[in-house]
Structure 1
Amino acid sequence: MAVLLREALGDSLRRVRTAQGRTLREVSTDARVSLGYLSEVERGQKEASSELLASICDALDVEIAELLLDVGHAMLPAGDEHLVGSTDPVAAGEMGVLDAKVVIPGPGGRTEAALAAA
């Protein structure tokens, strides 16, 4: 079974906190979040909002981007590491997931360019 995002985020946050030798109480106080809620986030039982993640990351003095990269790598199936972090995906003959351009259609299926021309 695939690892859920909330579980991977919790594992990563716990690793950072314990590597710093800090307690849940210290981080919860610095992040201004209840100890119980932070514990649930670390155990993957609660889905943290972006605001909460920002507050926890500030308290841990870690960039959200670093945390998310760690989580992304942890969630990759074994053997799929080549999808993320490729230095030259074109030379390798394939594009990674971070290199793909996504076009999200606007209302009525029109792209942003079509909307701008309208």
Structure 2
Amino acid sequence: MAALLREVIGDVLRRARTSQGRTLREVSDTARVSLGYLSEVERGRKEASSELLSAICGALDVPLSQVLSDAGEELAHQELAAAPVTNIDVSTKVVIPQAVSMAVA
């Protein structure tokens, strides 16, 4: 099953927070977001609004555009990994015959 955007964004936010060595409480206080809600966002259980994402990114001192870019790259990577493998030779040409109308008398 494909990952949900809210899960990927939560992962990106958690990585940013933990790489800074900060606690949920520190970030939630700075962002003025409840600790429980921030935890739910990081775990991908809650869909954060753009205002909330902006506040969290501000608290982490990470541009929102960077979070969204990282999330997009992660999603693309997951989609590529989940894509079905096809064994079609790209040099193979396919000919589709033209449609022929049949008149009935």
TM range (shorter): 0.7 to 0.9
Equivalent residues in 2 for 1:1-118 (5 A)? Answer: 1-76=1-76, 77-78=79-80
TM-score, structure 2 as length reference: 0.74
Letter in 2 for 1:32: R
Aligned residue pair count = 79
Instruction: Give the gaps of 5 or more residues in structure 2.
Output: 82-105
TM-score, structure 1 as length reference: 0.66
What is the CA-CA distance between 1:78 and the residue it aligns to?
2.4
Report the Cα distance in structure 1 between the residues aligned to 2:14 and 2:64, rounded to whole angstroms.
14
Q: Secondary structure at the match of 1:78?
A: helix
> Sequence identity of aligned pairs in percent?
67
Higher relative contact order (CA 8 A, sep 6+): 2
Q: Structure 1 segments of 4 or more deviating over 3 A?
A: none
Report the Cα distance in structure 2 between the residues aligned to 1:66 and 1:10, rounded to whole angstroms.
13
Instruction: Give the gaps of 5 or more residues in structure 1.
Output: 80-118
Report the Cα distance in structure 1 between the residues aligned to 2:46 and 2:17, rounded to whole angstroms.
17
Report the Cα distance in structure 2 between the residues aligned to 1:20 and 1:63, rounded to whole angstroms.
15
